[in-house]
Structure 1
Amino acid sequence: MRLKTIVFRQPADSLPASPRFTSARLTACILGGFACLSIFSGTHFRSAEAQDVSAAGVSSQTSESDADVLAPYREAATKRWEKEIQKYETLDAKTTDPADGILLIGSSSIRRWDSAAEDLAPFRVIPRGYGGAKYSDLAVFAERLITPHDFRAVVIFVGNDISGKENDATPEEVKRLVRHVVAVTREHRPGAPVLLVEVTPTRSRYDAWPKIRELNAMLREVCFTEPNVHFVATAETFLTHDNQPRENLFVDDQLHLNEEGYDIWGDIIRDRLIEVLREQTRD
């Protein structure tokens, strides 16, 4: 775990309590200021959403061309993941989302993130990840995973489209699917920012790292060209000075993060959330 120095300017007991609510998280709350506190102000965000819809000229329906993007993937995605998606639909029917929560969707790094509530505090999370997800199936299930929820922002991490296999997707193929997921999110919650998390370098897939970097560059491009879509840069943090994966941040499979890895990953994502929401409140 990393040691951090902090000078407190308000009583710690005025902030949310958590067994892993470290000094770094207290610092984020203080530095975030009204941006952190604003996640609990639903009225402001709903009015902001209405303004964003008008400004962006968002269509009320997903275009037919977007639907066509899914055709090559629908059958395989349904065959493999339908039961997992149904489990989440059952959960959705039994639970109530936190007001202005953060929706977390994507692959196993999201599903295995058991400490997300603590790592992202004071943001409240709605975890909906499933192991092995690719953008090809996330796009197919986007409406079922996204539209049941009223959220403040969406955080997306998908790490399996390029893994060094013959059937890997190309960045251009993934780009169309990413834009579809963004479109579904924007249609449902027009003012909610979308955060795309960079694919992490790992030892187990390091042979494919040049191609994965191309994918990350594509994700960055989408963030530059789509309104209210934001890139979360993580890769450099998980590399050594000689550009090798930091193996101490992963479990034995050298693919999934360990506790320290999640601690670092969560800090980066939380800080980016604070930054994005602070900018939104200023607009």
Structure 2
Amino acid sequence: MKKILTAFLLLCFTIAFSQEKKPMYWHDIQEFKKQDQQNPPPKDAILLIGSSSFTKWTDVADYFPTKTIINRGFGGSRLTDLNHFAEDLLAPYQPKQIIIYCGENDFADNHQLKAQKVVKRYKAFYKKIRERFPDIEVDYISIKYSPSREKLWPQMKEANKRIAAFMQKEPNAEFIDVTKAMEDANGNVRKDIFVEDMLHFKPEGYQIWTKVMNPYMK
């Protein structure tokens, strides 16, 4: 009986320890794998990779009815998470275009984070994309200026500026600036396109993004 109890406790400890070792968003990635197994992803689709602005855009296909979209936005992911799960986010697919929205949460996670560090994280992920897909279109959507994160706007603006300069020099790459389209007539960020948390979008916010993104969509 004592041996059985010991074995049971050891099993419980092993399970608990293995769960603790799993990185953040591991379960989201497993869900993607499950979806891909049930419905093999189409070739030559537009692959969206990024954080909650994509995660919550669950009806994105309705906004781009003539496009084939694979949405792989997960949680409140950071560029560190995209780099960590790069193999899982890229290997299963054969897209004709990748569009990225990520970086906002990097600053939210660490208010002291410098723009240069975030740009470095982005370049690392971009390099991983190019190692697998050297010739496809790769686009980066500018970090949006969420009203709830106004204190972080200076770093975000600097990061946008640096990433835009980087993408301008890259072949088959574009920086999609959504910031201007999200402003009112006075040049202020429109709060009416956000839900109560002043971070995530109402449908009106996604309608603005759709208009800006459409010319870049393959």
Query: Which of the five TM-score ranges fits, normalised by the shorter chain?
Result: 0.7 to 0.9
Identity of matched residues, %: 28
Mind listing any 5+ residue stretches in structure 1 that lack a counterpart? 1-75, 278-283
* Distance in 2 separating the partners of 1:173 and 1:210: 14
Whole-angstrom distance in 2 between the partners of 1:77 and 1:231? 36
Matched, 1:233 2:177: yes
How many Å separate the matches in 2 of 1:143 and 1:217? 28
Pairwise CA distance, 1:207:
2.1
Higher normalized contact order (CA 8 Å, seq sep 6+, divided by chain length): 1
Report which of the two structures shows the higher radius of gyration computed on alpha carbons: 2
Distance of aligned partners of 1:246 and 1:152 in 2 relative to their CA distance in 1, 3 Å threshold? same
TM-aligned CA deviation for residue 268 of structure 1: 1.1
CA separation of 1:266 and 1:187: change in aligned 2, threshold 3 A: same
Give the secondary structure class of the aligned counterpart of 2:42.
Answer: coil
Mean CA deviation greater in 196-205 or 114-123: 114-123
Q: How does 1:232-251 map to 2 (within 5 A)?
A: 232-251=176-195
Q: What is the CA distance between 1:249 and its match in structure 2?
A: 0.8
The CA deviation string for residues 233-275 of structure 1, in whole angstroms up to 9 with x for no partner, is 10011122333220111111111111111111122112222xx
Is the Cα–Cα contact under 8 Å of residues 77 and 140 in structure 1 kept in the other structure?
no
Kindly report the root-mean-square deviation, in angstroms, between the aligned alpha carbons of the 2 structures: 2.0
The answer to whether structure 1 residue 79 and structure 2 residue 23 are counterparts is yes
CA contact (8 A) 1:146 1:185 kept: yes
- Residue 120 of structure 1 contacts residue 267 of structure 1 at CA under 8 Å; is this kept in 2? no
The number of equivalent residue pairs is 198
Q: How does 1:116-195 map to 2 (within 5 A)?
A: 116-158=60-102, 159-163=104-108, 166-195=110-139
Alignment partner of 1:197 out of 141, 160, 163: 141
- 4+ aligned runs moved over 6 Å, structure 1: none
Indicate the SS of the match to 2:29.
Answer: helix
Which amino acid letter does the alignment assign opposite residue 207 of structure 1?
Answer: K
Q: For each residue in 1:73-129, what CA deviation from the matched residue of structure 2 results, as whole angstroms up to 9, or x when unmatched? A: xxx995212222122122222222223110001000001112211212311100111
Where structure 2 has 5 or more consecutive residues not aligned to the other structure, the ranges are 1-19
Q: d(CA) in 2 for partners of 1:120 and 1:183?
A: 28
Q: Is the alpha carbon distance of 1:92 and 1:77 closer, same or farther for their aligned partners in structure 2, counting shifts above 3 Å?
A: farther
Query: Secondary structure at the residue paired with 1:85?
Result: helix
Output the TM-score relative to the length of structure 2. Answer: 0.84
Q: In 2 relative to 1, CA 225–81 (structure 1 residues): closer, same or farther, beyond 3 Å? A: same
